[in-house]
Amino acid sequence: MKILITGGAGFIGSAVVRHIINHTDDSVINIDKLTYAGNLESLKEISRDPRYQFRQIDICDAQAVVQALNDFQPDAIMHLAAESHVDRSITGPAEFVQTNVVGTYTLLEACRQYWSALPEARKAAFRFHHISTDEVYGDLPHPDEMEGELPLFTESTPYAPSSPYSSTKAASDHLVRAWGRTYKLPVIVTNCSNNYGPYHFPEKLIPLIISNALEGKPLPVYGKGDQIRDWLYVEDHARALYTVVTKAQVGTTYNIGGHNEKKNLDVVMQVCELLDELRPKASRYQEQITYVQDRPGHDRRYAIDAAKIEKDLGWKPQETFESGLRKTVEWYLNNQEWVEHVKSGAYKNWIEQNYENRS
């Protein structure tokens, strides 16, 4: 199978590319604009594999996307390219509308043109897999507000996004389903909870805390730190996505989650405890925690019901939060050079010097 992946130089996209090249016989073309969040150094271990190619393309550039489709002749698209950081979406929403909405529309139209011209058998087997977030559902009741069993997001939970990020992702989900219904493009949508793991840009909670802790800087926690997220190890997500693109029926939606509901403050404390053990110093890391003004519109609780993907496709997360977080902290301790490069932009020089696979 030949798979075109958008956003394959990002956190989750690079995990998907590594998974496919390392664990399957499939080929990948990665198209990525290489924004601040895209980093080819995350693909170093597979970049010279003959089954892997890269093109630096903005998904809003219709001509370049059509050219890549015609040249590579994929059997499936996995669409991960997006602006993904909620805080950035609050200070600069335009880029989110452009990439997440206009970019998805551009990609859908390019795919429709490519897919319509395929021979019947390839047309029937083709898949457009859109990778989205549980944040499209808004937030759920928090244990502070409700007693008893708390509700979870299911595939039929109504959309109620809160931030510019989640609203643009919701818009993209609607576009994808509309192209499925109106033009019969064979689409699948997945909505996943918060990911964590290696190669995560150090602006997101867990890598930010590890990075600041090691530099002796404050560890910022929004509000009281009581917001609840459902955490999934990124390699479990990559496995789930490959399972979906190869096995799911056309038109289906799957929620993907890790069964790990944690308050942000508890996550920060757990990272601090692991660092106390693995990189001890005179004082405890938790002394660096600083409470900062809460994010506007901050969702209080997300939690996924992943029963459908478990039942239909037999996927389950392999990591517990404890095992995944330990692996993550160890990875950051052993890969400080990667962190320095993405923070300084030095990886762009690394690409020029080390990357021969660009076209």
Ligand X SMILES: NC(=O)c1ccc[n+]([C@@H]2O[C@H](COP(=O)([O-])OP(=O)(O)OC[C@H]3O[C@@H](n4cnc5c(N)ncnc54)[C@H](O)[C@@H]3O)[C@@H](O)[C@H]2O)c1
Q: How far is the CB of 306 from ligand X (least distance, A)?
A: 13
User: Residues 131, 104: contact at Cβ < 8 Å?
Assistant: no
Catalytic residue among 52, 105, 137, 165: 165
189 interacts with ligand X by CB under 6 A: no
User: Residues 243, 315: contact at Cβ < 8 Å?
Assistant: yes
Which residues lie closer than 8 Å to 208 by C-beta, 6 or more apart? 202, 220
170 interacts with ligand X by CB under 6 A: no
- The token pair that represents 105 in the structure block: 């529309």
Q: Candidates 3, 4, 5, 11: give the one binding ligand X (CB under 6 A).
A: 11
Local structure of 137: helix, strand or coil: helix
Catalytic residue among 41, 75, 135, 235: 135
Q: How far is the CB of 291 from ligand X (least distance, A)?
A: 23
Q: Is 144 a catalytic residue?
A: no
Q: Candidates 12, 189, 241, 245: give the one binding ligand X (CB under 6 A).
A: 12
x-or-dash string of contact with ligand X, 35-74, rule CB under 6 A: x-xx-------------------xxx--------------
Q: How far is the CB of 12 from ligand X (least distance, A)?
A: 4
Q: Is 312 a catalytic residue?
A: no
Comparison of 8 and 288: residue with beta carbon closer to ligand X: 8
Q: How far is the CB of 4 from ligand X (least distance, A)?
A: 12
Q: Candidates 5, 20, 21, 33: give the one binding ligand X (CB under 6 A).
A: 33
86 interacts with ligand X by CB under 6 A: no
133 interacts with ligand X by CB under 6 A: yes
Burial class (CB in 10 A: 0-12, 13-18, 19+), 64: middle
Q: Is 135 a catalytic residue?
A: yes
Between CA 252 and CA 319 the distance in angstroms is 25
Catalytic residue among 41, 75, 83, 134: 134
Q: Candidates 84, 104, 255, 264: give the one binding ligand X (CB under 6 A).
A: 84
Centre a 10 Å sphere on the Cβ of residue 154 and count the other Cβ atoms it contains: 14
DSSP 345: T
Give how many residues touch ligand X by CB under 6 A.
31
User: Residues 263, 218: contact at Cβ < 8 Å?
Assistant: no
Distance of CA 145 to the CA centre of its chain: 30
Q: How far is the CB of 106 from ligand X (least distance, A)?
A: 9
CA distances from 218 to 252, 292, 326 (A): 44, 10, 21
Q: How far is the CB of 280 from ligand X (least distance, A)?
A: 30
E strand residue ranges, the chain: 2-6, 27-32, 52-56, 76-79, 127-133, 187-192, 194-196, 219-222, 228-233, 253-256, 261-263, 289-292
Between CA 231 and CA 359 the distance in angstroms is 36
259 interacts with ligand X by CB under 6 A: no
The residues of the shown chain that bind ligand X, judged by CB under 6 A, are 6-7, 9-13, 32-35, 37-38, 58-60, 80-84, 99, 103, 131-133, 169, 192, 194-195, 201
Catalytic residues: 134-135, 165
